[in-house]
Structure 1
Amino acid sequence: MKELRKLISKFTPERILRKSSLLIMENFQGVDISRIVYPEEVGLDSRYVGESTPSWNKYVVRLLKDLHINNQDAILDIGCGKGSAMLAMLKFPFARVDGIELSEEISEIAIRNLTRLKKQRWQIFNGDAITFKDYNAYSMLYFYNPFPGEIMRQVVANIHSSISGREQEMLIIYNLPVCHELIVKDGVFCKQREYPNGYGDKIFVYSNKNLQHSRLHRSLS
């Protein structure tokens, strides 16, 4: 019943109007951001990857404002889809806003979207998050529920391996954190903050530093 109420809440008249307005605007701009893409549409298996759904909204922007982002920071959207969240991130002074996406077709849509909107400071990697080797190049990672548990377990293990010995802080921003336990299981990352995501769910923020030594401590003062 709770899940049914949550599903119904996503189809209020206000949200339907907003969705329609976004689609009209995107059509005018020649971009494709808001339309959901299901794994089977692009030849992927829904047992291993989630649907490509936009996650840019005011709640994500509010969270990013708390993170004291500067031009030394870089962020990677893992399972970036068509680049929706990257558009929100590009409003902040990151040195780099990158994304990794398994589907070549969806990657090409993201590249086309960001190019047509004349955005800079970004790169899209078409590849597998399980084997990606450059996580240590980023100060922040972003997930919007891109994988089921078994895939997330392997991705987290790859992140741990990539940042082994790292002294600098790394944040993980996890929107709709269904695999929360896998993030904190090995004690490398600890949940430090919690935000609403606008759909009745949460966004968790994790750090590899304790709160006293984290940039998140500044947002509490």
Structure 2
Amino acid sequence: MNTSATFKAEIKRRVKWSLIGAVARLPDSVQTLLFVSAIRKYGKRVPILRAVYSGCYRTHPIDRTLGTDTGGIYPPESVTGTNGPENGNLPYMGCQPSIVRHALNQLGDVSGRTFIDIGCGKGRPMIVATEFPFDAVLGYDIAAPLVDVANRNAKIVARRFPERTIMRAFVDDATRMPFPSKDIVAFFFNPFGAELMSVMRQKFEAALADHTLERLTIVYIYPTCAHVYDGSPMLARQASFNTPYAPSEIGYGPDLQQEVIIWNDARHA
């Protein structure tokens, strides 16, 4: 191992995220100004501004509407103390509510089922899940600071919509946690690399085999490790599609659409 090269790469990465964080703390009005086409044309060429042009640092419409906080991009070490992507955890960023909503609409009646967001971060998908009649809406993340924000968001949503299922987030390692019920919808927004996704697959398969889980649906947005679940003999694809952002969300994420794949356990395929 080239210790010098590794050290330089680590310093470069830490400086990069420090500078991105500084830019991210600019007032929302300034960040909005950066999206004016004449400024954006040149600003996107500045390496440090590229993260701003992901749109993730702007105040998202869902946060303006509800008063929640679900935005930003956070590298793993900023919230977990781990040392970058080699530990298998990827940076936090929120996905678009319209994509989550469209995906959950494909599941039919979800009454009696438990929604679990694995790598929940600040809980944006959980907020959308409370729009559906799940028995429980739960999130799990190893990043305690983000889980604290998710639970503050939960209180805001509960006050505004007392008729909805209350969402709750927990600090936990998803690869080791017990499943909260026998009938779950597991949600992923690209939280891990292939190694940890393989561990999750083994966990799902073992639980289906011993009937700890009686029913399983996996909803995977930005499915970079889809091959892991396609390789399972206990899972079958229900759907695969690309969904465009809602018009109001364009400019609040790095893309214009998002790929979604849904698997069911073979008994319910």
- TM-score, length-normalised on structure 2? 0.65
Query: Hey, what's the Cα distance between the residues in 2 that align with 1:82 and 1:205?
Result: 23
2:180 matches 1:140: no
2:88 matches 1:51: no
Corresponding residue to 2:224 among 178, 189, 197:
178
Moved more, 193-202 or 72-81: 193-202
Q: CA deviation at 1:32?
A: 1.7
Query: Hey, what's the Cα distance between the residues in 2 that align with 1:130 and 1:106?
Result: 18
Query: 1:60, 1:197 within 8 Å by CA — same for their partners in 2?
Result: no
- TM-score, length-normalised on structure 1? 0.78
Q: CA deviation at 1:144?
A: 0.5
In the alignment, what sits opposite 2:237?
A: 191
2:68 matches 1:22: no
Structure 2: gaps (5+ residues): 1-43, 45-49, 245-254
In the alignment, what sits opposite 1:117?
A: 157
2:77 matches 1:40: yes
In the alignment, what sits opposite 1:204?
A: 261
Query: Hey, what's the Cα distance between the residues in 1 that align with 2:179 and 2:75?
Result: 27
Secondary structure (helix, strand or coil) at the match of 2:218 reads strand
Query: Hey, what's the Cα distance between the residues in 1 that align with 2:231 and 2:57?
Result: 39
Number of aligned residue pairs: 199
Corresponding residue to 2:121 among 81, 86, 107:
81
Q: CA deviation at 1:63?
A: 2.0
In the alignment, what sits opposite 2:206?
A: 161
Structure 1: gaps (5+ residues): 1-7, 215-221
User: What is the Cα-based RMSD across aligned positions, in Å?
Assistant: 2.9
AA partner of residue 146 (structure 2): I
Corresponding residue to 1:104 among 144, 158, 178:
144
Moved more, 170-179 or 159-168: 159-168
Q: CA deviation at 1:18?
A: 11
CA change 1:67–1:105 in 2 (3 A) is: same
CA-to-aligned-CA distance 1:93-143 (integer Å, 9 cap, x gap) = 111111111111111111111112326432212110111121653321111
Query: Hey, what's the Cα distance between the residues in 1 that align with 2:133 and 2:229?
Result: 27
Query: Hey, what's the Cα distance between the residues in 1 that align with 2:92 and 2:60?
Result: 20
Moved more, 65-74 or 172-181: 65-74
Query: 2:127, 2:167 within 8 Å by CA — same for their partners in 1?
Result: no
In the alignment, what sits opposite 1:72?
A: 112
Query: Hey, what's the Cα distance between the residues in 2 that align with 1:146 and 1:32?
Result: 19
CA-to-aligned-CA distance 1:129-160 (integer Å, 9 cap, x gap) = 11112165332111111001111111221222
Secondary structure (helix, strand or coil) at the match of 1:116 reads helix
Q: Share of identical aligned residues, percent? A: 20
